[in-house]
A and B are shown apart, each in its own frame.
Chain A
Amino acid sequence: MAFVLKKEELPHFSKHIISKEYGLFAPVRKEARSIFKRIDENQVGEVSLDYIRTIMPPLKSLLIPPKETLLKIKDGKIEEMLPGPENKTAILGVHPCDVNAMNLLERVYMDRPKDPYFEARRKNLIIIALNCSSADEKCFCTSFGTGPSLEEGFDLILTDLGDRFLVEVGSRKGSELIGDFYMPKASSTDLMEKDETIRRVKGMIRRHVNTAGLQRIMTGALYNPIWNELADRCTGCGACNMVCPTCFCFNVIDEPELDSGSVLRSRTWDGCLLWEYAEVALGGNFRKDLSARIRQFVNHKMNYWLNQYGALGCVGCGRCIEQCPAKIDITSIVARLRGELL
């Protein structure tokens, strides 16, 4: 099923979602950029779907919050802090690369073993995706088939057709969300315009990773001097780990809570670029050199994921390239290792 939503109707549609008792997350302007935030009824006018890339990956931030309390321990009793079914969440305007990144996170968190915290949040989540209507020189989703359009993994999906959005239904949950909100049915012209938009955006994407036989090439390059060379430039800051929508590692910490006399066990995002990450008891460290840590980051995405989870671990969102203070570019690393770039 497909419908048409006039752009001036978007605030009403947002209100409709909130009225169905969903906590709504959507992109709003913050200075020159967009940032996903929780929107209440009075802020629906701020929702702005005209963006290419947010700094943080919205679905990762929702499903695995940067800091999440898992257990509360008091007087020998352990309480699991699982989000309840009342915490229904809707996310509006999330691009295909980010939805595909979440599909990858599901392979990590929903299988062998299931993570009950991730699962509870995922079950509570409804996804209103947004096909891309623009791209910049850091986008390379077409290399992984993760954008600029999306065929599955959403409940509803919008496409910007200038003065209106095409709204397509991807699941029963999505159809139920529309419910009694009236939208005219889409015509074949609307659908053709969508295809035209996607074609146009594909043409805008100039950056590529050649994935053919990539695993063999990456494994063959484990001792390539490029890793030492990159380690001279890399600051080791871990920003790439934070902004990557598929980086899923966390650390677990215990903190005493002063007022209640209990101890909180939380998990916080961690990153393989950090010294502490591969450190073990008595100070041993499996990745003492920064070069080994950069090699791990790049190889995990472009090589190890395939054996681990059956897909490459990059969706081509361009965030690590955009946010690196040292301007290190994962696509040019791969190109150099393939001999496609000097």
Chain B
Amino acid sequence: MMNGKLKVGVFKLASCSGCQMVLVHLEESLLEVLKYVELKYFRMVSDDDLPNEPLDVAIVEGAVTNEEEGIMIKKIRKMSRFLIAAGACAATGGLNAIKNTTPEGEVESTVYSSPEYIRSGKAFGLNEYVNVDAYLYGCPIDGRELINTLMSLAIRVPPYIPGITVCMECKMNGNECIFLTRGEPCLGPVTVGGCNALCPSNGVTCEGCRGVLKGTNPKGLELAWTNAGVSPDLIRLKLRKYSDVYKLLTR
């Protein structure tokens, strides 16, 4: 059984803080989790500085987009026994990585009036820089999965990370297929499940925020979309949104 509480740090790189918010929003469940977990560093809820001791688990949100963040993630890796990439940005670069397909200067001048202050390069997931021990997928992450992962680590068993697709969960929910009936491009067939097909079960297509499941075939999906008359522009935008698929197709 466990040897005292898990020492956990929560970190943020280039991101919107939405995944940290999921942890805060666990509310009552968070109090239960805190019986097993000691939060050593969590800037969103406490001003305490990073303690000078090793961590059992680092939960890292956000993509790496510049040198400082690259140094930061290597430092976090060094001080942590188990590193969790939490959310689409940390797992694959996420929405940040949309810019990877456009020249940097062009992106910056589109978004900022004074781009000379920006110090940012291509956005990548954590695994471009360090070894990642577990991924929590989604934009934002799923609270239930976060709890399961922390609790599993607390009792020293490997966390269960689902290896099924969103499409499979959508079928289990008995939903009519949005792609087959409405012709709208849905990323469910190649996207990591675990969200219980949240979007398609509510009538909108999967955007692929949980990343591409190993062994699925995005090229086949692109072909199916093309055959169904989805426009090349829409296909490009759809595949680029959460970078992962696009990266696979253009590699």
Residues of A within 8 A of B (CB): 30-33, 35, 54-56, 66, 231-239, 241-243, 253-256, 258-259, 263, 268-271, 274-276, 290, 293, 322-323, 325-327
Contacts and interface: CB of A to CB of B under 8 A. Distances in A.
B179 interface: yes
A323 B171 contact: yes
Given A55-B174, A258-B151, A325-B177, A242 B163 contact: no
A224 B160 CA distance: 37
A56 B177 CA distance: 12
Given A234-B220, A254-B160, A256-B154, 4 more contacts: A232-B217, A232-B220, A235-B218, A238-B168
A326 B180 CA distance: 10
A256 B177 contact: no
7 contacts: A30-B174, A239-B189, A254-B157, A255-B148, A274-B164, A274-B213, A327-B227
B171 A31 contact: no
- Determine chain B's interface SS by DSSP, over half rule: helix
Nearest to B32: A258
Interface residues of B, number: 40
A253 B190 CA distance: 22
Nearest to B163: A276
Of all A-B residue pairs in the complex, the 3 with the closest CB atoms, nearest first, are A275-B215, A237-B189, A276-B163
B75 interface: no
Contacts of B190: 235-237
A238 B188 CA distance: 11
Interface of B: 29, 32-33, 147-148, 151-152, 154-155, 157, 160, 163-165, 167-168, 171-172, 174-177, 179-181, 188-190, 213-221, 223-224, 227
A237 B216 contact: yes
B224 A326 contact: yes
A256 B180 contact: no
Contacts of B224: 233, 235, 325-327
B167 A325 contact: yes
A283 to B, nearest CB: 11
A326 to B, nearest CB: 5
A312 to B, nearest CB: 23
Contact of A233 (B154, B155, B181, B220): B220
B164 A325 contact: no
Nearest to A56: B174
A293 B147 CA distance: 33
